Structure 1
Amino acid sequence: MSSPAPTVQGERAVPKRALGPAPGPGPARFMGGMSTEKALDFKGSGRRLLQLLRPQRLMITAVLVIGVISVTLTVIGPKILGQATDLIFAGVIGASLPATTTKAAAIAHLRATGQNTLADLFKSVNLVPGHGIDFDAVGRVLLIVLALYVGASVLSLFQGRLTTTVVQRAVFDLRQQVEAKFARLPLRYFDQQPRGEVLSRVTNDIDNLQQSLQQVLSQVVTSLLSIVGVLILMLVISPLLALIALVTVPISVFVAARIGKQAQPQFIKQWSTTGRLNAHIEEMYTGHSLVKVFGREAESAEIFDQHNETLFNASFRAQFISGLIQPAMMFIGNLNYVLVAVVGALRVASGSLSLGDVQAFIQYSRQFTQPITQVASMANLMQSGVASAERVFALLDAQEQDPDPVEPVRLEKTHGRVAFEHVSFRYDPETPLIDDLSLRVEPGSTVAIVGPTGAGKTTLVNLLMRFYEITGGRITLDGVDIATMTREDLRAKTGMVLQDAWLFGGTIAENIAYGCASATRDEIVAAAKATHVDRFVRTLPDGYDTVIDEEGETVSAGEKQLITVARAFLASPAILILDEATSSVDTRTEVLIQRAMNSLRQGRTSFVIAHRLSTIRDADLILVMESGTIVEQGSHAELLDAHGAYARLYAAQFAQAAVEVE
C-alpha cells in the first residue's frame, strides 16, 4: 500500500505548496507566493537590467552623444552670460568716471585715498572711463546664450524620444521573454502559485519597471553628464570655489546611501504585498457567487483589509523614507550655495574674480547640486524598479520542464495503442503517489477511470499528456516512448475535455475552431450539430458569430461544456480524454452528448474520468484507482461479480443512479 497522497485539489492531487499568504475564505483557496524576507540582490538584478538594454546599445550610444552635446551647450551658457554681467557692470562704473581720465589713473587715485578694495574691484573690470553700457555687445552675448539654450532644448527633446524608444523596446522584449517562459513552465509551477501573484508580476511589476527605467534613464544620464560638465567649468573659473562645492558631495552621497538602505526592504515588501493582494482580489472575483452564497463577504473583506493595510504601511514607509532624500539634498545644497556666495564675494572684492565669473559660478553651484539631488531622488525609483525586476527575473528563472528531444520520434499514423509500463510518479519526492503502475489499452477502446477523490485519476491522464513527467517506467503510444516525442506532437494527437469548461473572448465559431484553426464554417457547423451545440446557437441573435467573454457569461454552464465538446469533436484526435466532461449538463443533454461521443470514439482510444453510471458501464475497460494504484480492472459486469472495490463504490455512488436511469 502506498503512502497517503499529498493534498488534493479537485480530482488532481497537487503537491504541498510553499510558504506564502495564508489561505482565505472562498471557492479557490491558495497557498504559495514570494517570501518577503528574501534580500534584494540590487547589484545582480541591476546587471541583468543592463543586459536587457544591451540590444539597444547603438541607440543608447546615440542618447549619450546627444546628451553630451546638449549638456555642453547648457553648461557653457552661464559662463557666456557672465560676460553680459561684466559688460553691464563695466558700463555702469565707466559712466561714473570722467572721460578725461584713464583706468590706471582711477585705480591709482583709489589706492592713494586708501580705497584698496574698490581699486582691486576696478582692476578686475574691463571698463572704459566715460563710456556707458555697450548694449550692442550685451545683445550679442544674450543672443548667443539664447541660441545655446534653444539648441540644448531641441537636443534634449531628441534625447527623450530616443530614451523612450530604448525603454519601450526593452520592456517589449521582456514581455516576450515572459510569454515564452510561460510556454516552457511545467504545470507544477502554476499549481504552486496563486494566479493573482503571477499576473501581478506580469502586469504590475513590468509596468513599474518600465516607468522606473523611463524616469531613471531620462534624468540620470543627463544629471551625470551635467555634474561632469559643470565640475569642469567650475575648476576653470575657480579651483578654490570648486573645492568648496565638492566638500558637500561626500556628505550628499553618505546621506542618500543611508536613507536608500532604509527604504530598500520596504520596496521589497510593497511589491510582494501587492502580489498577494492581487491574488486575493482575483480569487474573490472569480468565486464571488460562492462567496455570497456562503455568506463569507465579511471574512473576505477582512482579509482584503489586512492585505491592504500591510500594503499601505509598506508603501507609506517606502515612499516616506525615500522621499527624505530630496529635502536632505536640498538642505546640503543650500549650505553649499551660502559658502560659495560668501567666498565668491570675497574673491570679487579682492579682484581675484570678476563679478560675472562669480555669478556664473553661483549658477554652476546650483546646476551642480541639482543633478546630485536628482540622482539621489532617483534612488527610490531605482529601488522600486529593481525590486519589481527581481520578481520578474524570479519568474524567468523558475525551473522549466524538461526540453524536448533533439531528434524527436514522429508517428506518421497514430492508432491509439497506449501502454503504461511500471510507471511511478510523485509530486513530493518523499511521498509516492503512483508506484509501479502497468496498463495496456488497445486502439479504439474506451477506458473509464473511477475511484475516490485524490486517487490519482486526473494525474494518470496528465502523465499521458506530459503535463507532468514520470519518475520511473515509461509510457508508450503505438510502441513509441512518449518521452522521445515532442510535447506539441503528442498533444496534437490528443483531445481533452475538462470538468471546468474554458472559453476565451471571441465568437462561438472561433471557440469551436480553437483546436483546428484551418476549419471551415461548414466543418464547424457539422461539429456543432454532432454535439448538439447547433440547437441552442440557432436561437442566439448572431448565431455562430455571437461574441462571448472569457467567463462565458452569455451562455449557460451546460452550453459552455457543449462548446468544449464540439471543440474536441472538430479536432478529431486519435486519443480522447474526458475529465468529468458531462458533469455540468442535465440528464437529457448528457444523453445527447453520450450519443455524439459514441460516434466520436469510433476508432479512437478514449480515457473517461466520470462518476456517472451512464458514462462508465458501457466502457470496454474500467480502472478502479485507490491512492495512485489500479486495484481492479475489467468490464462493468466482471467487476460487479468480483465484489471488490468497484462493487463497493458502485453500491455507494452508482446504485441510486442506476435506478434513475433504468
Structure 2
Amino acid sequence: MSSRKASMTGDTGRGTLKKILEYIRQYRWAVILSLLLALLTVALTLYVPVLIGQAVDCVVAKGQVDFREIAKIIWKILVIVALAAAAQWLMNHIHNRITYRVVMDIRTKAFKHVERLPLRYLDSQPSGDILSRMIADVDQFSEGLLMGFTQLFTGVMTIGGTLAFMVLINPFITVVVVLLTPLSLFVASFIAKKTFTMFQRQSETRGELTALTNEMLGNMKLVQAFGCESQVQSRFEALSKRLEGYSLKAVFFSSITNPATRFVNSMVYAAVGMTGAWGAIQGFMTVGQLTSFLSYANQYTKPFNEISGVVTELQNALACAARVFELMDEAVIPEDKEDAVKLEQARGRVELQAVSFSYEPDQRLIENLNLEVEPGQRVAIVGPTGCGKTTMINLLMRFYDVRSGAIKVDGRDIRDVTRESLRASYGMVLQETWLKSGTIRENIAYGRPEASEEEIVQASKAAHAHGFIMRMPQGYDTIISEEAGNLSQGQKQLLCIARVMLCLPPMLILDEATSSIDTRTELQVQKAFAQMMKGRTCFIVAHRLSTIKEADVILVMKEGRILEKGRHEELLEQKGFYAALYKSQFAGV
C-alpha cells in the first residue's frame, strides 16, 4: 500500500514538473541566455583558483618571491571577478523575469479557469481553499522556482566545471572525489522523498485553514449572534495543530538536508587533502596545484549543499503547484455548440418540456416539469424551502443543464443558443446582494459600462435609490467596498435593482428581490417593478405571498413538481396547498 502511494506521489511530481516545463518553454530563449551566462559565471569563477595556485607557486622560499608576476595575477583575478559578478547579476535578473512571468501566466490562467468552472464545482468547494490555491500556493511555488533557477543551473555547471579542472590537475585524486560523491546524492534523495509528502500535506491543511478563516470572517455576526465562538476556535485550533505537525515534520526533514550533505562533503574534502598532501610530498603535484585542487574540492562539494536545499524548496514548490494544477484540471463548463446562435431581441416566450433535474443522481428534485409562459407574463413561483424554486432559476439561466427534457426560449432550445446571449436576455435581482469594490456609479453600470450619467440617474430614481445616493459623501462617486459596510442591506438591494433597471432586458428574474427592504420602500419599488415589468416576461420567486398577488400565473411547487397553478384569487378559491400557505402567513392579521 505504501509503495503504491509513493509511486502515485512520484507520478504526481513528474506530471506537475512536466506542466511547469510547458509554461517555461515559451521563455526558452531567455532560459538559453541564462544558461550561457551561468556557464560564463562558473567558468570565470573556476579560473580564479588556477590563478591563485600560480600565485602560490611564485613564492619559492623566504626572500624568493616574484612580486611582479603576483601583481599581474592579482589584476587578472580582479578583472575576472568583476566580469563574473556582472554576468551573475544579469543572470539573476533574467531568472527573476522568467519566474514571475511563469507565475503570472499560471495565476492568470487559473483565474480564467475558475471563471469557467461549473457552479456544481464552486458550490461544493470552500471558497477559501480555492483562494489559498490561487494566492498562497502560487506564491510558495514562485519562491521554489526562483531558487531552482538561481542555484540549480549554476550548481550543476559548477560540479561539471570543477570536475573538468580537477582532471586537468590530477586525474587520480579526482577519482577519489567522484567515488565519494554518490553518498551526498543518496542522502539528498532520501530526504527529498520524505519532504515532498510533508509539504504536500502542509499545503492542503493550509488551504483548509484559509477556507475556515475566510468563512468565519465573512459571517462573524452570525457566529457571535449564536455564541459559536468557542466551537469555531476549537476547529481553528485543531487545524492549526495539524498544520503545526506537518510543518514541523516538513521543516525537520528539510533542515537535516544541509547538515547531512555537509558531513559527507567534509569527508570528501578530508580525503582530497590527505591524498593531495601525499601527492605533493611524492612530487606528483606542486603546492600551488594542491591549493587549487583543495579550492576545487570545496567548490565541487558546495553545490551539493545548495542543490539539496533547492531540492527541498522544489519539493514544496511542486506540492503547491500540484494543488494549483489540480484546480486547473477540473472540468469546465462545456463550450457552446459550434452552430449555437445568439439570442437577440427575445420576445420572452419560455417553455419547459418534460424537464427533469437533480443535483445528485440518487436524490430526486425536479421530474417531468412542464410549463408554458407567454411573452409579458408575470410568473410567480412559491412553495416550501427545497421545493425547487431557485433550481428553476438556475436552469432558466443555464447555470445548470437539465438532465432530460428541454427549456426553450422563443421556440429555441437554450442549449442551441450561446450562454452569453441567453443570460444577457435576463435581468436578475437576487436575495443575496453582490456589489464590487468601486464607486456607486460603477456598480449600477456593471451590466452597461457605456451608460450615460443621465441613464444611471434615471435608473437610480426608478429604483428609489437616488435619494440615499445623493446623501452619500461623494454621491455617485462614493467608493464602496465589496462588503459595502457603509450601506444598509436595503440600500445594497436598491443598488442591485437599479443595476437591472439600467439594462432592462426582455426577461426578468426576481428572487426575493425586496426581502431586505422596509415596507414603505417596498411599496415604492413594487410600483417601479410594475412599470419595469410591462411587456416583459418575469419570473418572481417569493416567500412573502403578499408580493405576488398581481402575478398573471402563480406556480405552487412542492418536491420538484407543480402542485397548483392559477391566479391568486383562483388558488384561494381552490382551498388547496396555496390557500393553506397564504393563510398561515396572515393568520391573526
TM-score interval, smaller chain: over 0.9
The Cα offsets for residues 549-571 of structure 1, whole Å up to 9 and x where unpaired, read as: 11011110100000000001101
Q: Does 1:465 align with 2:397?
A: yes
User: Structure 1 residue aligned with 2:414, among 482, 494, 501?
Assistant: 482
Matched, 1:181 2:113: yes
DSSP 3-state at the match of 2:153: helix
Instruction: Pick from 316, 334, 346 the counterpart of residue 266 of structure 2.
Output: 334
The change in CA–CA distance for 1:412 and 1:549 in structure 2 (over 3 A counts) is closer
Structure exhibiting the larger radius of gyration computed from Cα positions = 1
Does residue 415 (structure 1) correspond to residue 386 (structure 2)? The answer is: no
Aligned partner of 2:26 in structure 1 is 55
Equivalent residues of 2:427, 2:503 under 8 A apart: yes
Local SS of the residue matching 2:515: coil
What per-residue deviation string (whole Å, max 9, x for no partner) do you get for residues 80-124 of structure 1? 211000111x2x16x4xxxxxxxxxxxxxxxxxxxxxxxxxxxxx
Counterpart of 2:446 (choices 514, 523, 526) is: 514
Distance 2:567 2:587 in 1: 17
Report the alpha carbon displacement of residue 539 of structure 1 after superposing the two structures with TM.
1.4
Contact 1:319-1:380 at 8 Å conserved across structures:
no
- 2:522 and 2:461 map into 1 onto residues whose CA distance is 15
Q: Does the CA contact (< 8 Å) of 1:612 and 1:654 recur in 2?
A: no
Aligned partners of 1:586, 1:212: CA distance in 2, in Å?
54
What whole-Å deviation, never above 9, does each CA across 1:354-386 have from its counterpart, x for those lacking one? Answer: 111110110111101100111111122111100
Letter in 1 for 2:478: T
- Structure 2 residue 504 is the aligned partner of structure 1 residue 608: no
Deviations 1:378-405 (A, max 9, x none): 1221111000000000110001111111
CA contact (8 A) 2:456 2:502 kept: yes
Which structure 2 residues correspond to residues 262-661 of structure 1 after superposition, within 5 A?
Answer: 262-655=194-587, 659=589
* Equivalent residues of 1:610, 1:616 under 8 A apart: yes
1:419-458 deviation per Cα after TM superposition (whole angstroms, max 9, x unaligned) = 1111111211222321111111111111111111111100
* Letter paired with 2:38: G
| Superimposed CA distance per residue, residues 257-288 of structure 1 (whole angstroms, 9 cap, x where no aligned partner) | 11111222111110000000001101110011
Deviations 1:34-81 (A, max 9, x none): x99984611111111111111111110111111111111111111121
Equivalents in 2 of 1:409, 1:540: separation in Å? 44
Aligned with 1:602: secondary structure? Answer: coil
The answer as to whether partners of 2:343 and 2:418 remain within 8 angstroms in 1 is no
RMSD: 1.5
The match for 1:137 is 69
Amino acid at match of 1:433: L
CA distance in 1, matches of 2:269, 2:337: 68
Give me the whole-angstrom Cα distance separating, in 2, the residues matched to 1:76 and 1:252. Answer: 25
Structure 2 residue aligned with 1:44: 15
Match of 1:26 in 2: none
Distance 2:287 2:6 in 1: 57
Aligned equivalents of 1:74 and 1:412: distance in 2?
69
Query: Whole-Å Cα distance in 1 between the matches of residues 339 and 24 of structure 2?
Result: 34
Q: Is the 8 A contact 1:580 1:609 kept in 2?
A: yes
SS in 1 for 2:405: strand
Aligned residue among 88, 92, 114 for 1:156: 88
Question: What is the CA–CA distance in structure 2 between the aligned matches of 1:64 and 1:655, rounded to whole Å?
Answer: 81
TM-score normalised over the length of structure 1: 0.87
Separation in 2 of the partners of 1:162 and 1:262?
32
Answer whether contact 1:36 1:272 (CA < 8 A) is retained. Answer: no
Q: Determine which of 205, 211, 232 is the counterpart of 2:143.
A: 211
1:255 aligns with 2:226: no
**Does 2:8 match 1:76?**
no
Residue correspondence of structure 1 range 68-107 to structure 2 within 5 A: 68-88=39-59, 90=60, 92=61, 95=63
Aligned length: 584
Q: Is 2:130 aligned against 1:198?
A: yes
Deviation at 1:651, TM superposition (A): 2.3
Say if 1:562 and 1:298 are closer, same or farther in 2 by CA, change over 3 A.
same
Q: Is the 8 A contact 1:624 1:632 kept in 2?
A: yes
Ranges in structure 2 where 5+ consecutive residues have no aligned partner: none
How big is the shift at 1:410?
2.2
Q: Distance in 2 between matches of 1:628 and 1:613?
A: 19
Unpaired runs of 5+ in structure 1?
Answer: 1-34, 96-131
Can you list the C-alpha shifts for 1:329-357, whole angstroms capped at 9, x where unaligned?
11111111111111101100111001111
Instruction: Give 1:290 deviation, angstroms.
Output: 1.1
Cα distance in 2 for partners of 1:245, 1:37 equals: 33
In structure 2, distance between residues paired with 1:198 and 1:554: 28
Cα distance in structure 2, aligned partners of 1:592 and 1:487: 33
Q: Does the 8 Å contact 1:168/1:210 carry over to 2?
A: yes
C-alpha separation in 2, matches of 1:511 and 1:451:
32
Letter in 2 for 1:643: K
String of CA shifts for 1:518-566, please: whole Å, max 9, x gaps. 1111100000000100111121221111111110111101000000000
Tell me the percent identity: 40
Q: Deviations over 1:605-660 (max 9, x none)?
A: 1111111123211111111111111111111111112222212222223545xx4x
Report the equivalent of 2:97. 165
Give, in whole Å, the separation in 2 of the partners of 1:432 and 1:221. Answer: 58
Q: Is the 8 A contact 1:420 1:439 kept in 2?
A: yes
Shift of 1:165: 0.6
Q: Distance between the aligned counterparts of 2:79 and 2:183, measured in 1?
A: 36
CA deviation profile, 1:139-159 (whole Å, cap 9, x unmatched): 111111221111111100000
Does structure 1 conserve the Cα–Cα contact (< 8 Å) formed by 2:343 and 2:425? no
Matches within 5 A, 1:7-18: none
- Where relative contact order (Cα < 8 A, 6+ residues apart) is larger, the structure is 1
Q: SS state of the match for residue 64, structure 1?
A: helix
Matched position secondary structure for 1:517? coil
Structure 2 residue matching 1:476: 3-state secondary structure: strand
Pick aligned residue for 1:224 from 156, 161, 177: 156
Letter of the structure 2 residue corresponding to residue 66 of structure 1 = L
Tell me the CA shift for residue 248 of structure 1: 2.2
CA distance, structure 1, for counterparts of residue 9 and residue 364 of structure 2: 34
Check conservation: 2:343, 2:422, Cα contact below 8 A: no
Task: Report the 3-state secondary structure (helix = DSSP H, G, I; strand = E; otherwise coil) of the residue aligned with 1:514.
Answer: coil
The 10-residue stretch of structure 1 (411-420 or 346-355) with the greater mean CA deviation from structure 2: 411-420
